[in-house]
Amino acid sequence: MKLIVGLGNPGAEYDGTRHNVGFDVVDEVARRWGLEFQSAPADAVFAKSHGPPGGPPAALLLKPLTFMNRSGQAVGTVQRYYRVEFSDLFVVTEDVNLSLGRLRARRQGSDGGHNGLRSVIECLGTQTFSRLRIGVGRGDPRRGLAGRVLSRFDAEERPAMDEAVGRAADAVGLFVELGIEPVMNQFNRQDTAEGEADEEAGE
């Protein structure tokens, strides 16, 4: 059983913000698979696919209802409850250090300064789980990061992000079917923009 986690903040005031791109991706996967979210055995909501015949592959889609910096509590509870192997966990989140719409999949690694990933690592006690980061752009470097990630996308940014969310949902489907290697091979091929820094260390 694969566990797909989208990171974000609960509440309507955070809908559509850069911080909630992980939620947007698992929502798109649930839409494609015809699943509905329900209460999870944790402070979260989840949607469960039982697998064939005739339906999507067996997987759990999870949205923690804690705030971002405590996401790991729900992830750890559900991971233990369903006895999900760390190799079957895929965390989807935004990243201000990647250019707008760019995807970067990794088999494992540090939190790269991301509070949600830090919480997941702390609560699981390991960095050895796969993750997909979606670039939301750094924006004006004079602005604080908190303000950036809690802002909504400009009208001219929205098409690129909608396309990125769709590709990220494709990546989730590929991970569930075949694991992290094909995801990395397919979705990490975009060239790094000149001068862009990939801040995630330890990979």
E strand spans, 82-176: 89-95, 103-106, 130-135
Do residues 115 and 6 make contact, with C-beta atoms less than 8 angstroms apart?
Answer: no
Do residues 97 and 199 make contact, with C-beta atoms less than 8 angstroms apart?
Answer: yes
- Quick one: tokens of 40? 């999870």
Q: From the CA atom positions of the chain, what is the Rg in Å? A: 16
Dihedral (CA of 46, 188, 124, 69) sign: negative
CA neighbor of 25 nearest in space, from 79, 70, 75, 62: 62
CB atoms within 10 A of CB 148: 18
Catalytic residue list contains 50: no
Give me the count of residues in the chain: 203
Residue of 18, 19, 114, 148 marked catalytic:
19
- Quick one: tokens of 128? 């050895």
3-state helix, strand, coil in the chain (%, to 5): 40, 20, 40
- Quick one: tokens of 147? 């303000």
List, by residue number, the catalytic residues.
Answer: 19
